[in-house]
Amino acid sequence: MPNQANVRPELSALIARKDLAALKKYLDPWLPADLAPMAAELSVEELAVLFRVGSRELGAAVFTYLPIEGQKKLLKLLTQEQSAALLNALPPDDRTSFLNELPLDVAMQLLSMLTPDERQVAQSLLAYPEHSVGRMMTLDYVAVHPDWTVRQALDYIREHGYDRETLNVVFVVDDAGHLLDDIRVRRLLLSPLDRPISELLDGNYTMLLPQDDREKALEIFRKFDRVALPVTDEQRKLIGIVTVDDMLDVASEEATEDIQKMGGSEALDEPYTTIPLLRMVKKRASWLVVLFLGEMLTATAMSYFEDEIAKAVVLALFVPLVISSGGNAGSQAATLVIRALALGEFRLRDWWRVMRRELAAGTMLGLILGVIGFLRIAAWSLFSNIYGPHWLLVATSVGVSLTGIVLWGSLMGSMLPLLLKRLGLDPATSSAPFVATLVDVTGLIIYFSVAMMIMRGVLL
């Protein structure tokens, strides 16, 4: 039994020795799909040798595992003929996502290498919008007819199934190609061989349209525990399928997008380690600048209270503490609400329920921080004169305004994502830092107003 951890070094050694005959013998017993993930860890130069020796299927399988940069480099090392063979052998969905990453002229050049049939497939898939189901679709599925028997269907699969993306689900179509049903392979395997397919149909299936967003597909896969879903046109004609293995990637990419947006940057759309520096700076700078412009309002707000600060400098000492606590409470609430929205835990019309929760939670959190803040100032003042003779008033101002600001932050944090969604925007878009900025400005006003009320006639 070959040990998987040894595969890559063994391949490397064979390639380094330039022993192509031994390399071929090593590759022979492997199923391409099994070897591919390990082989994909070879260097691009090693892969070029592997592609010379290995089968078209192995080449295509390995190619799908490479990151886009590796794919581009490898293609440059292959001969015209090898490239053509590779591109024609690639699963249509992987080919689509590769071509999509290339400059238009290179993509057109590669398209011209395809056989007329494959070219038509590639062009039709590329015509769908990015992040749509159509882009992830493959046309290599198994379709059977309702008047066949189970035996005929299994024989058909044995004969024609080899290059199909999945055999776990087969699709039943009428003579015009309209989808009648999908059947899990377990149904075929568990039925008597002479039973007609038509008797296995329950007419119950879920289908996608090629223009559907891939997040919708993810939701349906998650809900119905499917391994493959049919894609049809508006007339229910079967045009392709989407398989669950692509969904794990979609789930991860969608989470990455949300996380990056929530962290206050545009979605990078490429790995952090390989995105060109300037492109990354551009994506990060845009939101930092927006937040900075928003945050400038804090300077304006504070300038209204310049006289008060001059009279009681001690007030200024607690500005960062007070407003950052509001910001933290706000980011926290925003994060929880955005994620719950993304998971479909509640709908926009439930906003009142969310607001009630945050009213209660925000009040409690505010009181906790307010009391700690009050005690901190009181405790320090018992042993030193750092906060002056009126420390009790200062402590009260900080404690009271903290309670209000944390409550306010929780409310803003929970409601802003809902507002963004109501306006048709992505609620994840920079919400947490945006809320923090908003709460900073309003928090200052709350803090100084509370302080003026409490200290009127004494310090101010």
The amino acid that residue 442 corresponds to is T
Give the interface segment with its own copies, choosing from 43-51, 76-84, 100-108, 352-360 (CB under 8 A): 352-360
Interface with its own copies in residues 310-349 (CB under 8 A): 310, 313-314, 316-321, 323-325, 327-329, 331-332, 334-340, 343, 345-346
**Is residue 300 packed enough to be buried (19+ CB in 10 Å), middle (13-18) or exposed (0-12)?**
exposed
Residues 6+ apart with CB under 8 A from 335: 262, 413, 431, 432
**How, if at all, do strands 238-243 and 169-173 pair?**
unpaired
Give the residue, chosen from 18, 117, 175, 272, that forms a contact with its own copies under the rule CB under 8 A: 272
The reply on whether position 453 binds its own copies by CB under 8 A is: no
Rg (C-alpha) for the chain, rounded Å, is 31
Q: Which two tokens stand for residue 79?
A: 């001969």
**Minimum CB distance to its own copies smaller for 17 or for 223:** 223
Instruction: Give residue for tokens 């994502």.
Output: 417
Instruction: Among 361, 411, 451, 460, indicate the residue that binds its own copies (CB under 8 A).
Output: 361
Residues 8-37, interacting with its own copies (CB under 8 A): 29-31, 33-35, 37
Q: Does position 416 bind its own copies by CB under 8 A? A: no
Rounded to a whole number, what is the largest CA-CA distance in the chain?
A: 97
Does 138 bind its own copies (CB under 8 A)? Our answer is no
| Structure tokens, 426 | 């992505």
User: Which residues on neighbouring strands pair with residue 123, listed in sequence order?
Assistant: none
Q: Is 425 in the site for its own copies (CB under 8 A)?
A: no
Q: How far is the CB of 451 from its own copies (least distance, A)?
A: 14
Nearest CB to its own copies, comparing residues 49 and 247: 247
Helix residue ranges, H only, 204-318: 214-224, 244-262, 277-304, 306-311, 313-317
DSSP state of 239: E
Residue 421 CB, shortest distance to its own copies, in Å, is: 15
Q: Who contacts 38 (Cβ-Cβ below 8 Å, separation ≥6)?
A: 4, 7, 8, 11
Find out whether 374 and 394 touch, Cβ atoms under 8 Å.
no
Q: Does 422 bind its own copies (CB under 8 A)?
A: no
**Residues in binding contact with its own copies, number by CB under 8 A:** 125
Tell whether residue 89 is a contact of its own copies (CB under 8 A): no
452 interacts with its own copies by CB under 8 A: no
Check residue 378 for interaction with its own copies (CB under 8 A). no
Closest distance of CB 138 from its own copies, Å: 13
Q: How far apart are alpha carbons 230 and 240 in whole angstroms? A: 6
- Ramachandran angles phi, psi of 240, nearest 5°: 180, -175
Distance separating alpha carbons of residues 444 and 325, to the nearest angstrom? 12
Counting beta carbons within 10 angstroms of the beta carbon of residue 410, is it exposed (0 to 12), middle (13 to 18) or buried (19 or more)? buried
389 binds its own copies (CB under 8 A): no
**Shortest Cβ 12–its own copies spacing (Å):** 18
Q: How far is CA 195 from CA 12, 171, 178, 364, in A?
A: 51, 17, 22, 65
C-beta closer to its own copies: residue 120 or 252: 252
Q: Which member of 16, 22, 108, 248 binds its own copies (CB under 8 A)?
A: 248
Cα gap 51→76, rounded to integer Å: 13
3-state helix, strand, coil in the chain (%, to 5): 65, 5, 25
Binding status of residue 258 toward its own copies by CB under 8 A: yes
Q: Does 91 bind its own copies (CB under 8 A)?
A: no
Phi, psi angle pair for 234, to nearest 5°: -65, -25
> Within 282-301, which residues bind its own copies (CB under 8 A)?
284-285, 287-289, 291-293, 295-296, 298-299
CB nearer its own copies, residue 240 or residue 327: 327
Measured from the CB atom, the residue of 232 and 265 that comes closer to its own copies is 265
35 to 74: interface string for its own copies, x by CB under 8 A: x-x-------------------------------------
Binder of its own copies out of 221, 391, 408, 448 (CB under 8 A): 221
By CB under 8 A, tell whether 279 contacts its own copies: no
Map residues 154-183 to x or -, x wherever contact with its own copies holds by CB under 8 A.
x--xx--xx-x-xxx---------------
Task: Please report which helix (H) or strand (E) contains residue 357, including its range.
Answer: helix 351-383
CB of 111 to its own copies, least distance (A): 26
Asked if 373 touches its own copies (CB under 8 A), the answer is yes
